[in-house]
A and B are shown apart, each in its own frame.
Chain A
């Protein structure tokens, strides 16, 4: 499936009739919507939920697969599509529907970018602390579908902690909603959480309601290099046990520290710990001062404040897909915080002789391994094998490892989501219930769902 699959019909004509010519994206733009070797047979960009519904009804009727797309920052995530189909660009649904600052809630269409939402809320001193990579491009719907979270997640939580309501279009075009507009709700099952991280395989999200928070008034970071992994881990554990622990704490191995591209990060020493601090000025000041005290024995420690701190946070958020220096292979590891030293020690998993950079989230747990080499001429098995080993090592730590990016040939040899979890039987039944004809993002999710 290296080129547009011919679905045997005048797709463009049918879609024009269905949605109007201005909603059909010219085929010349197909390369923007490829997923690995897969190219969609047509692309549509609706502007309202009922058009999404009409499209999915049509696709259901004609048995055509649909690949939803947001800002296409993470469209490489997942296994390779297994059926020809059309791309559904959701960025035309990009309005704020309802903002209630006094209720601390906001409702937006799914194609709005996170950056746009941030900027609207910040005018009122509010925020939804999602912080996905490339927030100025990433859409709300895409962030929810991938479940990707940002570097402040240990204090501010995951997308699932902020979403209170969602509207979706199901695989047969039926529109439905879950949750509501209130911040506390146990009315019926919690489908919000089911849709988050489901990679668009159950339904297409058209609208989302979030609870919102007061935006932090001040930001700071403390960056400290340590002699080796052991001293870095000890320093992190110590800091995290303090009442003045930072909102987030990440550790970068030396290659990762070099690649981050922040001039404040000390390179040429050992691993670098980055404490991220946000809040009211008085508490930020206290956290900064006390952190500096407990980290006196670090090889070097540097205090960064204000805009420089928020830039550093953005670099950390963008790191796995940094357009200026994207890793060619990236693995996200979900583990408990206890596994911090194990994660830092995983830099022996070389690909083509290159050791990975490690960035570990000391407070929340987990992290990423990243390689930047050009492995396109490498034997696929030699790329896939270390990735399988990483998945198996992380599984032995009680977590899982998701290969977010790797060369296509290697991707064909692995399940990027790792070994099937214990609940795979339930997951298969959920997929059968929601999408019995396997039309939504077919094949891309865990276990080929």
Chain B
């Protein structure tokens, strides 16, 4: 099929206004939150499942690759589309279809923004727990593709723990339901396999998510430490007490400086690191655990422990954490983020390695991350216009991923493998492990037409093509 015919047929499905193929209009679809870009052949904006199915069938017939896009906040290149590929985006499929307070579920379309869902269900006394830092912008469809996490994953699990069922469209346009209205369903757990498949298995068009009741009591603390080492020890002490807080985040000195440059989050400028800790539950339980957390922090060398007095202060502490990545723009125009995970007891060792790599490569690295579950986010700050800097940053990132793997950890905790980490997969998986994964992809998408070239090493060395907009797009992580 000629390209112009293909576009005409797309227009016949979704209407004239919802196929984008002019170069200047495509500019915003050529990148996501990662350091890469590639301009798709066209972008199509369907309004419903039926249109998605028709688009997929058409592309399938025409042999055209399809890449789904949520809000483009992804940090591993998941939404980067090859030049001859079709991007399918969901700003028109953004309705919350149903909120059920007896079942504690919501049925949503893939374009619904994470925070919009949470805000909407809070008026019914419920919440949607997964809260990626990009939650003001990222969509549920994208969250499913990446199995997105967030600070509150520590207690409540990532996206996969909150998805009950999905309607999905396969590469040939077939519409299939995965899971059911019940939290368990007979047959293979296709729902579980689909979440986190980075858009290679299908496109989710309706999503049934689990909601949790809002907790009776919430307490947010700031543990202030003279250095990273003592903050890491405090993390181990809290977990070692048998306490799994709702969230346990670490923010290092450089990140504190960046945050305080843009907003007064109440983080002390002279701290070596702060821990942002949140406890939730029944009043009695929160009271009791508060005392234990406080003593764990003091025992491990906290310079100060502050407890948010009210909701406003609590909100301020969180705004600091969630805007940290945007705030890095005040230090350098570009950043590149590593998403490795290590066993929690290895945090100190890993952060020493980060420091050593930073010094050896001469690259500034800031750390703001999910300490409670060992998910680091060493963030390299640089100016991509500096010759050779990108290669340098990639080499430093490679060393950090190697160290995570060597410490018994893994490459990615919540951002996905996508393009940028695929060549590192052999650090954690043998050929046989990846072959088993590929078998599942064969079953969902035998022709491999959905988001191909992601996740698995294909022998090509990946070198990102950074773009000036990277710092603007990278407001979140």
Contacts and interface: CB of A to CB of B under 8 A. Distances in A.
Contact of B413 (A101, A184, A335, A338): A184
Nearest to B101: A241
B190 A423 contact: yes
A209 to B, nearest CB: 10
Nearest to A400: B186
Contacts of A434: 436, 439
A282 B188 CA distance: 41
Given A182-B410, A185-B413, A338-B102, A282 B182 contact: no
B187 A176 contact: no
Contacts of A430: 188, 439-440, 443
Contacts of B411: 187
A303 interface: no
Which of B161, B196, B282, B375 has most A Cβ within 10 Å? B282
Which of B183, B190, B342 has most A Cβ within 10 Å? B183
Interface stretch (A60-68, A191-199, A374-382): A191-199
A402 B446 CA distance: 30
B210 to A, nearest CB: 10
Contacts of A177: 429-430, 433
A245 interface: yes
A430 B190 CA distance: 10
Contacts of B428: 180, 187
A287 B188 contact: no
A243 B215 contact: yes
A27 interface: no
Interface of A: 100-105, 125-126, 147, 149, 157-158, 160-161, 168, 170, 174-178, 180-194, 196-198, 202-203, 213-214, 237, 241, 243-245, 279-280, 282-283, 285-287, 334-338, 364-366, 397-400, 402, 417-418, 421-427, 429-430, 432-434, 445-447
Interface string B432-458: 111111011111101000000001000
Interface stretch (B222-230, B240-248, B358-366): B240-248
A342 B374 CA distance: 44
B231 to A, nearest CB: 16
A184 B158 contact: yes
A244 B282 contact: yes
Nearest to A162: B157
Nearest to B284: A282
B131 interface: no
Contacts of B288: 280, 282-283
14 contacts: A161-B157, A176-B430, A177-B430, A182-B408, A187-B412, A191-B440, A194-B192, A198-B188, A282-B285, A337-B103, A337-B104, A423-B187, A426-B176, A446-B188
Interface string B340-362: 01111100000000000000000
B373 to A, nearest CB: 4
Interface stretch (B55-63, B146-154, B252-260, B379-387): B146-154
B142 interface: no
B413 A102 contact: no
Given A366-B182, A423-B176, A126 B242 contact: yes
Contacts of A245: 213
Contacts of B284: 280, 282-283, 285-286
Given A103-B343, A433-B442, A446 B186 contact: yes
B343 A335 contact: no
Given A125-B242, A335-B181, 16 more contacts: A178-B437, A182-B341, A182-B408, A183-B344, A189-B440, A241-B125, A241-B213, A280-B284, A334-B182, A334-B185, A338-B102, A365-B103, A398-B181, A400-B186, A423-B176, A429-B446
B433 A185 contact: no
A104 B432 CA distance: 28
Which of B160, B289, B415, B446 has most A Cβ within 10 Å? B160
B409 A433 contact: no
A243 B285 CA distance: 12
B343 A181 contact: yes
Contact of B181 (A158, A280, A336, A425): A336
Contacts of A282: 284-285, 287-288
Contacts of A425: 174, 176
A424 B417 CA distance: 28
Contacts of A185: 341, 410, 412-413
Given A190-B195, A282-B284, A429 B441 contact: no
B147 to A, nearest CB: 5
Given A100-B343, A424-B187, A338 B103 contact: yes
A363 to B, nearest CB: 9
Contacts of A104: 239, 244, 344
B282 A427 contact: no
Contacts of B464: none
Given A102-B236, A187-B425, A426 B444 contact: yes
A432 B442 CA distance: 10
A186 B146 contact: yes
Contacts of A103: 239, 343-345, 374
Nearest to A202: B188
B177 interface: yes
Nearest to B421: A187
Nearest to B158: A184
A194 B374 CA distance: 25
B100 interface: yes
Contacts of B433: 176-178, 188
